[in-house]
Structure 1
Amino acid sequence: MKNLAKFTLMGSLAILCFSCGGSSSDSTTQAKDSNNAKMDSAGSGTTNATPAIPPSVSKGDQDFAVNTANAGMTEIQAGQMAQQKGMAQDVKDYGAMMVKDHTAAADKLKMIAASKNLTLPATLSSDKQTDLDDLNKKQGKDFDKAYIDMMISDHKKVISAFEDESKNGSDADIRGFADSTLHVLRHHLDEAEKCHKMMKKM
């Protein structure tokens, strides 16, 4: 009888322990399932997040901005060269005006480009670099003439591009930049033509 009571007590304890263990396992499984559900929820939220879409700018406006940046860097570097190598004071003064005005225009264009996620060139194109290299080889009056001839030719092309953008550009900010800069470019062309006439008299 005593042995039977002992076996019965041990059996009851075993069942109790097994039951507790099963309960613990169930709760652990439920906790894991709950955590997995939370992770799945968080993961799906991240996956479905919509990235910010940059404002769209037409191909024509992008090309205008890039070409303008390239032309502006050319005018600035050529202007610096004119200040150093120019023989006539008018040429030196014209070069200083180019550096000042085109630096200001470049800063405005950079601000507009940054607001629209546009990447502008940081260095000159190969053809513009070749033009500057050829100009740098000249000295004295030859330099002055070549520089002013270059400024007349370049500004005629740039003015035409700016006039087209101011009328037909699809982006309001870039179109406004072109329109507001035109009077400065026309003044540059006028001054270059004056210098050209003065050099012919010398």
Structure 2
Amino acid sequence: MKTPIKIYLTAAAFITASAFMGCSNSKTNNASYEADTANKAAIAHKDTTADGLKADTAKKKLDDKASKFLVKGCEANMYVIELGEMAGTHATNADVKAFGVQIATTHKALNTDILKQAFNASFKLPGGIDTDHAKKLKDLDKKKGADFDKAFLSTATDAIKKTADDYGDAHLNLPPSSTKDLANAAMGKLVTELNNAATLQGSIK
């Protein structure tokens, strides 16, 4: 299986975003590492104003927390999208297939929201999934029939739960901001996905 390296954007959005969305080509081959490193450097650079005075410390901390959440959320959403699209073509159970299509669609929308936030703040986003997620996709791709359906539901549940935890952390710990609002708005969708996955797991023999 070839794991595509992509961010899910409209053509126009891709053109405007391409200036700050680099590929995952760090020494660790970790898609999020490069983005986090670049954002940390950019935030540190903005810490000093033109007249040499220190910028608002609270603003710097907010930028740091927000950028880390957006990077992690973007990569996690790309992973769920890959899982969902694989289920859309590999699953044998019609409900599992439909669930895969649904989560792919939902997480594309979540990443569109993240893209807007990142673009407005000039934050860099990862250009692909991390290596551990790529390995999990490769392992899942080897399974067939009912074995695939069961493995997909287990893998997707774990991925969505971790994503929900990250969004929940941002919801609880970020100070009032547009990034916090983004996290708040997504929580209901993620909880619904987890409930639907649990229902499907209970129905698959």
Q: Do Structure 1 and Structure 2 share a fold, with TM-score over 0.5?
A: yes
How far apart, in 1, do the equivalents of 2:76 and 2:70 lie? 10
Whether the aligned pair in 1 keeps the contact of 2:171 and 2:183 (CA below 8 Å) is yes
**Match among 100, 105, 108 for residue 100 of structure 1:** 105
- Name the larger-Rg structure: 1
Q: Specify the SS of the correspondent of 2:128.
A: coil
Whether the aligned pair in 2 keeps the contact of 1:76 and 1:98 (CA below 8 Å) is yes
The offset of 1:88, in angstroms, is 0.2
The offset of 1:136, in angstroms, is 0.7
Which residue is 2:189 aligned to?
Answer: 184
**Match among 148, 154, 162 for residue 153 of structure 2:** 148
1:129 corresponds to 2:131: no
TM-score, normalised with respect to structure 1: 0.70
The offset of 1:96, in angstroms, is 0.7
How far apart, in 1, do the equivalents of 2:116 and 2:176 lie? 14
Q: Specify the SS of the correspondent of 2:129.
A: coil
Which stretches in structure 2 are left out of the alignment for 5+ residues? 1-49
Residue by residue, what CA displacement relative to the aligned partner does 1:66-108 show, whole Å, maximum 9, x if unpaired?
Answer: 1110111011111111010001001100011011111111111
Amino acid at match of 1:101: T
TM-score, normalised with respect to structure 2: 0.69
**Match among 199, 202, 205 for residue 194 of structure 1:** 199
Which stretches in structure 1 are left out of the alignment for 5+ residues? 1-49
CA distance 1:171–1:65, change in 2 (3 Å): farther
The offset of 1:170, in angstroms, is 3.5
Which residue is 1:4 aligned to?
Answer: none
Matches for 1:50-89 after TM superposition, within 5 Å: 56=60, 57-89=62-94
Which residue is 2:175 aligned to?
Answer: 170
How far apart, in 2, do the equivalents of 1:172 and 1:98 lie? 26
The offset of 1:171, in angstroms, is 6.1
Which residue is 1:25 aligned to?
Answer: none
Larger relative contact order (C-alpha < 8 A, sep ≥ 6)? 2
Amino acid at match of 2:129: L
Which residue is 1:110 aligned to?
Answer: 115
How far apart, in 1, do the equivalents of 2:115 and 2:129 lie? 15
The percent of aligned pairs where both chains have the same amino acid is 26
Whether the aligned pair in 2 keeps the contact of 1:58 and 1:170 (CA below 8 Å) is no
